[in-house]
Amino acid sequence: MARELPPTAGLPLNLNDLWPGRAPFAERAAAWLGVPHLQLECSGTAAMVVALRAMHRLRPQRDEVIVPAWTCPLVALAIHRAGLKLRLCDLAVNHFDMDIVQLATLANARTLAIVPTHLAGRVADVNASLDIAHRVGAYVLEDAAQALGAMQEGRSVGLLGDAAFFSLAVGKGLTLFEGGLLLTRDVVLRDAFAASHDATIKPDARMDWQRALELIGYTLAYRPSLLPLAYGRPLRKALAEGDPVAAVGDDFGPNIPLHTVSHWRQAVGARALKRLPAFLEATRTQALPRVTRLRRIPGVTVYDDVPGQRGVWPFLLLTLPTQAQRDKALQTLWTAGLGVSRLFIHALPDYGYLRDVVSDALLPNARDFAARSLTITNSPWLDDATFERICSVLERSVGSSR
């Protein structure tokens, strides 16, 4: 029977998670993270829109938001939806963090927020953004969409900056089939976020039904035996048509859903949340020796924690020395059903559908990172023998002369 591994380690749902009921999901998630309060939104993108609108109301003279140039296209769409202007910061050399020298030149009296981004469950350098932001009077909004459960200095990510948002989308650990959590330790911002939610987010029965059906579908189909239909077939079709953006799901429309989350989906999330800590620990235990194995491949850079950090491991993010070597590896691995993929296809200016939102810029490091990076799933369904097959392909690819 055909098997397909997902590109990320999502927490599988059980059928009994779908039982009708109500539960205070945000409150339970806050207790797990050890934070006083979390505000639930319908997606990480919606949480970002709500947060930025609140920040802009508090500091209306500021209208620019600085983000890394290689990040999820939804970040650009959220800033546009909030009525603000996007400023791109190039990446540091061979890293997903922003170039601090360039960041310092971009920040000014019009900067509303700087958005350090915790990618692939790894913890970003928030302190550098804090120093620059507070020098010019801007907020730091941590993008922790891919880092729910990650820790820095013994506490949840999101507590160093002024605020943070997490995503509950498919593949990011726990999912409500979309969902987001907004965090701040600042009482003024917390009240502003609540007011922004009331002004921005409205009930939508059609979206409630759509998300409910999608969540049921996820519960049933998220397994290697059914993922060839739900994930593998659309992936291979998009790649055959020469559309890698569609293959990784980077092809977002301009409309960002902004609606409440049903009590039933919150209850599903609350039930699944009980299993999340053990799941994150199991995926961490699996990931660490695999990081060590990948580091034995000459020229491969794999991103890990540094002292004081304890990230989460939805997938492994790595770069190869050249784009040609990365492409050679993907030629074998991307359609093989092994959970190998790419994170974001382009730097933000290079998505055609963002041309009206994102201005072009000289971004050599972001474009280089996009060209040389790939991801390997950290799903528990990826066994050691299959992982070793992936490593063998990588070894042959980086050993090539091209």
pLDDT single digits (tens) 13-28: 999 999 999 999 999 9
The answer to whether the CB of 304 falls within 8 A of the CB of 122 is: yes
Single pTM value for the model: 0.95
261: its two tokens: 């989350």
Bridge partners (DSSP) listed for residue 340: 376
298-334 pLDDT, tens per residue?
999 999 999 999 999 999 999 999 999 999 999 999 9
**Distinct helix (H) and strand (E) counts, the chain:** 15, 14
pLDDT above 50 (res 402): no
What is d(CA 286, CA 383) in angstroms, rounded to the nearest whole number? 9
For 275, 335, 339, 346, 351, the CA distances from 391, given in Å and listed in that order, are 30, 16, 13, 25, 30
pLDDT above 60 (res 401): no
What is d(CA 181, CA 238) in angstroms, rounded to the nearest whole number? 31
What is d(CA 305, CA 301) in angstroms, rounded to the nearest whole number? 13
pLDDT of residue 289: 98
pLDDT band at 2 (very low <50, low <70, confident <90, very high): confident
